[in-house]
A and B are shown apart, each in its own frame.
Chain A
């Protein structure tokens, strides 16, 4: 594998994977907030 194939793969899979994972985290945490809403009495 030449260095450009390696570099572009890292950029696409690495950065793409990072964005996709964090987007998934964002969706999961939004769902959890809906399932377990904040209640005032928790204070």
Chain B
């Protein structure tokens, strides 16, 4: 009987005895993510479930990510099937107003320039020695778009999902800190003070309605491997612009996005098990992700400078920094920086155009990348 009691009691300390040295460190990292989300308001909708998922997956013997574990079921159902990022995209499409980019279609090009970081980081990851698919996944952090990163990582490098997703969402929330110094270094005072004219409304309802349909067809024909990404964001936008399915639009914006965000966050956190996550490779990925987003900003601002000179100083190069997918945070940063140097400067609508262009640009960059990989026979 004494043996039975001892065996029973040993079950209560087995969890503690089976702690791997990396588990407490990962719990601490989970705690930091919670702190950033709760106290610093950095992407709380994602960092809170990710941080909590990270903590619970590092408690030994709970078997949360083993076969039939509850996190494994959610992960297999939503991440491995690519369903969660695509559902999130329907919500993003329903929430995003693409009219600013339609008002000034040239801002699509700023959205393209803001994707350079993806490809430069890919080259760097290859130089460091990452395999092809891993390098592609690391590069895609430069899309500055969480669902795109999750979509690509879940397909081509599931072992990097945790590191890449955390990098993408963390750096997205750090955009207000990362971009201003780069914008200042790369532009002159005169350039930053450039006042851009405000335009009257020029987008008809028909054009706004045709936008998601035309973009889906043309983009899908060019890059069919990325059509799920493009089609879901455009479906959300079509629902919003049509105005006839307000129940579906609201569901996509609220209920679906909220539920999927919760499940997505906790699933990502579940990939952050200490023995799997705690490697030098993860640190390199986090550094490369940071570099990718900085390079996006650099290329966006430099392209903005090119437009400044081509147009004879009519375009403020700062709006180039908004050509990334962090919508609308990046546009707000540009507005704030523009006003810092010239109180009469209202860059917000132009920056929103570049930012909406960046949203489409990041999805298209991922779609083009996947189709090029398919063409090369890599996937």
Q: Is the pair B205, A42 in contact by a Cβ cutoff of 8 Å?
A: yes
The reply to whether the CB of B311 lies closer than 8 angstroms to some CB of chain A is: no
The reply to whether the CB of B105 lies closer than 8 angstroms to some CB of chain A is: yes
Other-chain contact of A42, B113, B123, B132, B204 (Cβ < 8 Å): B204
Q: How far is the CA of A31 from the CA of B203 in the complex (A)?
A: 11
Q: Is the pair A26, B106 in contact by a Cβ cutoff of 8 Å?
A: yes
Contacts of B279 in A (CB 8 A): none
Q: How far is the CA of A9 from the CA of B119 in the complex (A)?
A: 10
Q: Is the pair B109, A26 in contact by a Cβ cutoff of 8 Å?
A: yes
Measured CB to CB, the closest approach of chain B to A7, in angstroms, equals 5
Q: Which of B67-122 contact A (CB under 8 A)?
A: 101-102, 105-106, 108-109, 111-113, 115-116, 118-120, 122
Q: Is the pair B119, A36 in contact by a Cβ cutoff of 8 Å?
A: no
Interface bits A4-43 vs B (CB < 8 Å: 1, else 0):
1011111101110111011111111110110011110010
Nearest 8 A-B pairs (CB), nearest first? Answer: A36-B206, A17-B368, A22-B112, A26-B108, A26-B105, A22-B108, A29-B105, A18-B365
Q: How far is the CA of A6 from the CA of B112 in the complex (A)?
A: 21
Chain A facing B: main interface SS: helix
Measured CB to CB, the closest approach of chain B to A18, in angstroms, equals 4
Q: How far is the CA of A23 from the CA of B303 in the complex (A)?
A: 14
Other-chain contact of A36, B111, B207, B361 (Cβ < 8 Å): B207
Contacts of B371 in A (CB 8 A): 17
Chain B facing A: main interface SS: helix
Q: Is the pair B214, A17 in contact by a Cβ cutoff of 8 Å?
A: no
Q: Is the pair B105, A38 in contact by a Cβ cutoff of 8 Å?
A: no
Chain A to chain B contacts (Cβ below 8 Å), 5 pairs: A4-B126, A15-B118, A24-B222, A25-B108, A33-B202
Q: Which residue of A lies closest to B303 (CB)?
A: A19
Q: Is the pair A33, B204 in contact by a Cβ cutoff of 8 Å?
A: yes
Measured CB to CB, the closest approach of chain A to B1, in angstroms, equals 65
Q: Which residue of A lies closest to B368 (CB)?
A: A17
Number of chain A residues close to chain B: CB under 8 A: 32
Given contacts A11-B123, A21-B223, A24-B218, A29 and B207 within 8 Å (CB-CB): yes
The reply to whether the CB of B201 lies closer than 8 angstroms to some CB of chain A is: yes
Contacts of B106 in A (CB 8 A): 26
Given contacts A7-B123, A29-B211, A32-B214, A17 and B222 within 8 Å (CB-CB): yes
The reply to whether the CB of B357 lies closer than 8 angstroms to some CB of chain A is: yes
Q: Which residue of A lies closest to B362 (CB)?
A: A18
The reply to whether the CB of B351 lies closer than 8 angstroms to some CB of chain A is: no
Contacts of A18 in B (CB 8 A): 112, 115, 361, 364-365, 368
Q: Which residue of B lies closest to A4 (CB)?
A: B126
Q: Is the pair A33, B105 in contact by a Cβ cutoff of 8 Å?
A: yes
Q: How far is the CA of A29 from the CA of B108 in the complex (A)?
A: 10
Q: How far is the CA of A7 from the CA of B123 in the complex (A)?
A: 5
The reply to whether the CB of B32 lies closer than 8 angstroms to some CB of chain A is: no
Contacts of B112 in A (CB 8 A): 18-19, 21-23
Contacts of A17 in B (CB 8 A): 222-223, 368, 371-372
The reply to whether the CB of B45 lies closer than 8 angstroms to some CB of chain A is: no
Contacts of A10 in B (CB 8 A): 119, 122-123, 136, 369, 372-373
Measured CB to CB, the closest approach of chain B to A9, in angstroms, equals 7
Q: Is the pair A15, B115 in contact by a Cβ cutoff of 8 Å?
A: yes
Q: Is the pair A3, B132 in contact by a Cβ cutoff of 8 Å?
A: yes
Q: How far is the CA of A7 from the CA of B120 in the complex (A)?
A: 9
Q: Which residue of B lies closest to A3 (CB)?
A: B126
Other-chain contact of B119, A11, A23, A24, A28 (Cβ < 8 Å): A11
Q: Is the pair A6, B119 in contact by a Cβ cutoff of 8 Å?
A: no
Contacts of A42 in B (CB 8 A): 204-205
